[in-house]
């Protein structure tokens, strides 16, 4: 969420551009297991661009609101633990099953409510508020946090653990500012996270070189 339709659109385009760079970096470095995580900024950028349409529609229950909710609610808590599981070192994959199960359960519950309830968006000052009737919101939030931040903190990769800490702190700050209805900082936070991911991928990714030796081409 940003503070206006224009801000959302510009932030979304910038974050998506970082996402293209992330995917390119992972692909060129031969890190195919990192591709789902590298594509996360593309998803976040699309999310921002969709919300610019929510602003222009003055909230409501239209297609843009539904598309925003699909990404934010069932998709992200499923995408992130799967992406982290793919990128994590083998030693950490067993413990990552816990956030994965939490993500699957949370995504299933949120998908059910999206299919049976109406999600609404409301412009509140410089923020957009979304509402979806959930019978046990505390349980859903706990599962969501375990699936997303928990997956990063349990990843076994120092860079991803630091990323998880950044997400936890940034999300808390965003929520506090959003509740004041003063301004939404999610777009800036998503941009920082996307740039962090790019540098993490740059550190991990190395060009695949053909082995040199007596039996190699050109030897």
pLDDT in tens, 76-134: 999 999 999 999 999 999 999 999 999 999 999 999 999 999 999 998 877 888 888 88
Which candidate, 194, 178, 187, places its Cα nearest to that of 49?
A: 187
For 106, the token pair is 């949370």
128 secondary structure, DSSP code: E
Quote the CA–CA distance of 36 and 193 in Å, as a whole number: 15
Reading the chain (219 residues) residue by residue, the pLDDT tens digits are 667 888 889 989 999 999 999 999 999 888 899 999 999 999 999 999 999 999 999 999 999 999 999 999 999 999 999 999 999 999 999 999 999 999 999 999 999 999 999 999 998 877 888 888 888 888 998 999 999 999 999 999 999 999 999 888 877 776 665 555 444 555 667 788 899 999 999 988 655 454 555 554 444
* Model pLDDT, residue 216: 47
* Model pLDDT, residue 9: 92
Quote the CA–CA distance of 51 and 47 in Å, as a whole number: 6
Degrees to nearest 5, angle at CA 7 with 5 and 11: 120
Degrees to nearest 5, angle at CA 130 with 41 and 81: 40
Sequence-distant (6+) residues with CB within 8 A of 134 are 113, 140
Phi, psi of 120 (to 5 degrees): -125, 150
DSSP 155-202: SS-HHHHHHHHHHHHHHHHHHHHHHTTS---HHHHHHHHHHHHHHHHH
Q: Positive or negative CA dihedral for 122, 60, 57, 107?
A: positive
Task: Give this prediction's pTM.
Answer: 0.86
CA distances, 138 to each of 134, 142, 175, 179 (Å)? 9, 6, 15, 17
Scored b (16 or more CB within 10 A) or e, 45-59 reads bbbbbbbbbbbebeb
């Amino acid at each position: 969420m940003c503070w206006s339709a224009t801000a959302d659109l510009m932030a979304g385009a910038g974050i998506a551009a970082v996402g293209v760079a992330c995917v390119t970096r992972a692909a060129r470095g031969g890190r195919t297991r990192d591709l789902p995580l590298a594509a996360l900024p593309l998803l976040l950028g699309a999310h921002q661009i969709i919300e610019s349409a929510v602003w222009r529609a003055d909230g409501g229950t239209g297609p843009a609101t539904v598309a925003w909710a699909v990404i934010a609610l069932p998709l992200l808590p499923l995408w992130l633990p799967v992406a982290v599981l793919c990128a994590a070192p083998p030693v950490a994959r067993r413990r990552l099953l816990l956030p994965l199960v939490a993500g699957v359960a949370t995504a299933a519950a949120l998908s059910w409510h999206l299919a049976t309830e109406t999600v609404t968006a409301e412009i509140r000052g410089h923020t957009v508020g979304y509402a979806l009737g959930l019978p046990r919101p505390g349980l859903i939030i706990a599962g969501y946090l375990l699936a997303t931040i928990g997956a990063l903190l349990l990843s076994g990769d120092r860079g991803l653990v630091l990323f998880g800490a950044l997400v936890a702190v940034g999300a808390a700050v965003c929520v506090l500012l959003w509740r004041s209805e003063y301004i939404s900082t999610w777009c800036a936070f998503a941009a920082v996270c996307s740039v962090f991911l790019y540098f993490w991928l740059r550190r991990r990714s190395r060009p695949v070189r053909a082995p040199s030796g007596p039996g190699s081409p050109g030897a």
